[in-house]
Amino acid sequence: MYNSKISGLGYFVPDNVVTNDDLSKLMDTNDEWIQERTGIKERRHVVKGEDTTSSMGLKAAKIAIERAGIDKDEIDFIVFATLSPDYYFPGPGVMIQRDLGIKTVGAIDIRNQCSGFVYAISLADQYIKTGMYKNVLVIGSELHSGGLDMTTRGRGVSVIFGDGAGAAVLTREEDNSKGILSTHLHSEGAHAEELSLIAPGMGKRWVLDILKDDDPNDESYFPYMNGQFVFKNAVVRFSEVIIEGLKTNNLKAADIDMLIPHQANLRISQFIQGKFKLRDDQVYNNIMKYGNTTAASIPIALTEAWEQGKVKEGDLVVLAAFGSGFTWGSAIIRW
């Protein structure tokens, strides 16, 4: 059986910087309030009409493919993680295949929100481990800004999220001591509605009902989050799934060279850092400048850490995420 390694990384974020002070002009909030609760100072939002979820993913993917040192036609499969696709269907995976101009390879979309990239990495890893594919393109991309309630009513959620994309190329690795050592995935649907966006789902209201109601005050079109409940569950599940990954590989917390947590809230990352007694140089956070980019947050952070020389050959890298579903997961990687 093969292992898979990350052979190329790339990310893209829009040029448009939205600061906490900018948001204070739209809603009753301020920089101190946002930073105290989330750690976020600014985020990126697309300019309407300039970028989409798939176009941002494409830009990140092109960088990752170039850094992997392969031709785009060597990509065997595409996995695209997002909660904000361009269309209800088809998903953005096929748009990447089209816009890259590559052969008719398979493409699959992952709808696991904040855990999406870890789930996508796990799926790609399994395809490579079994020998089915050699090079798999994995993308996490989100366009949140077009679907947020940018008023005082929605401030508890809207101040958190930003737009962006990250991508990785996973390539077959003959050395089983290197690459992705293991991945670990979980879900707990009992809490599905605690972090959710209900409309325009087909379960309770059909499209004709939505059009008939035409209700501008329908909050089901905006994301809902039970913040304290999500926080309490996140710190527990983050810890559990990191420990699970370390134990599977006979490792301990002190062996971690770099932890890349999903950038949900700086307070969560700091809690996990303290629990595992990790130094500042063992954890990478960038939520301060990008906000929560959901499925894009880990690949953006991982790419930045690698670009800055904080992820080096031989390092033990741990990816961990928790989010809507609830879903959570980890990946243990020997770089």
The residues annotated as belonging to the active site are 114, 262, 292
Would you call 251 exposed, middle or buried from its count of C-beta atoms within 10 A (0-12, 13-18, 19+)? middle
Tell me how many degrees the CA angle 78-84-88 measures, rounded to the nearest 5: 85
Task: Give the neighbor-by-neighbor strand order of the sheet with 3-12.
Answer: 3-12, 164-173, 135-142, 77-81, 106-110
Q: Where are the beta strands (DSSP E) in 200-268?
A: 224-225, 258-261
Cβ atoms of residues 4 and 128 within 8 Å: yes
| Cα(292)–Cα(288) distance, integer angstroms | 9
- Closest listed residue to residue 295, CA positions, set 55, 81, 6, 60: 81
Q: Residue 192's Cα: distance from chain center in Å?
A: 18
The helix/strand/coil state of 257 is: coil
